[in-house]
């Protein structure tokens, strides 16, 4: 018996370096060496994608904190607590945030795919289909 199914959305989010706007440097490795790294929790999928992005880009970090909230990490970056590699969230507007800068770390970027897991026995299949359809209707490109 199958427990769950993965419903892949069409939305992908590139992994980027998020820094406070006061950091003028554009070199990810120098930035990551000079500032504390606010890491997303490695025990969950997004944290694993962060680790893949760092490895792909050959970047070393100065570990400082490990947290499990993208929004909290971004708030700490705004307050100059550290820097982070995070998915460029489709719903946030970090590119126009007056306190943040977004810096690519690799080309092509490592991507986080947005989707959902559904229990095979779930009786809300119509609702889940609506959610997946909404995800798939979202724009793919943020640039």
CATH number at residue 86: 3.40.190.290
Task: Confirm whether 61 is domain-assigned.
Answer: yes
| Count of structural domains, the chain | 1
Q: How many helices (H) and strands (E) does the chain have?
A: 4, 6
Structure confidence at residue 92 as a pLDDT band (50, 70, 90): confident
91 CB burial (10 A radius; 0-12, 13-18, 19+): exposed
Q: Tell me the pLDDT tens digit for each residue of 11-60.
A: 789 999 999 999 999 999 999 999 999 999 999 999 999 999 999 999 99
pTM attached to this predicted model: 0.78
Task: Confirm whether 101 is domain-assigned.
Answer: yes
Task: Confirm whether 43 is domain-assigned.
Answer: yes
Task: Confirm whether 50 is domain-assigned.
Answer: yes
Taking Cα atoms as reference points, which of 52, 59, 15 lies closest to residue 37?
Answer: 59
Instruction: For residues 138 and 40, give the distance between their C-alpha atoms in angstroms, rounded to a whole number.
Output: 25
Q: Tell me the pLDDT tens digit for each residue of 112-129.
A: 887 666 666 666 777 777
- CA 57 remoteness from chain centre: 15
Q: Which residue segment(s) compose the domain that 28 sits in?
A: 11-114
Cβ pair 85, 18 in contact under 8 A: yes
Task: Confirm whether 121 is domain-assigned.
Answer: no
- Distances in Å between the Cα of 3 and the Cα atoms of 37, 52, 101, 118, 127 are 37, 27, 41, 9, 18
Q: What is the mean pLDDT of residues 66-76?
A: 96
């Amino acid at each position: 018996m199958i427990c769950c199914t993965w419903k892949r959305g069409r939305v992908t989010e590139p992994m980027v370096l998020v820094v406070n706007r006061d950091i003028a440097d554009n070199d990810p490795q120098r930035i990551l060496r000079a500032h504390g790294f606010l890491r997303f929790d490695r025990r969950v999928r997004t944290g694993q994608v962060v680790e893949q992005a760092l490895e792909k880009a050959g970047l070393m970090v100065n570990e400082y904190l490990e947290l499990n909230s993208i929004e909290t990490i971004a708030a700490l970056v705004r307050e100059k607590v550290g820097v982070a590699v995070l998915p460029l969230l489709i719903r946030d507007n970090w590119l126009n945030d007056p306190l943040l800068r977004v810096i690519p770390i690799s080309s092509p970027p490592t991507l986080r795919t947005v989707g959902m897991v559904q229990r095979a026995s779930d009786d809300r299949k119509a609702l889940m289909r609506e959610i997946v359809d909404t995800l798939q209707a979202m724009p793919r490109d943020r640039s």
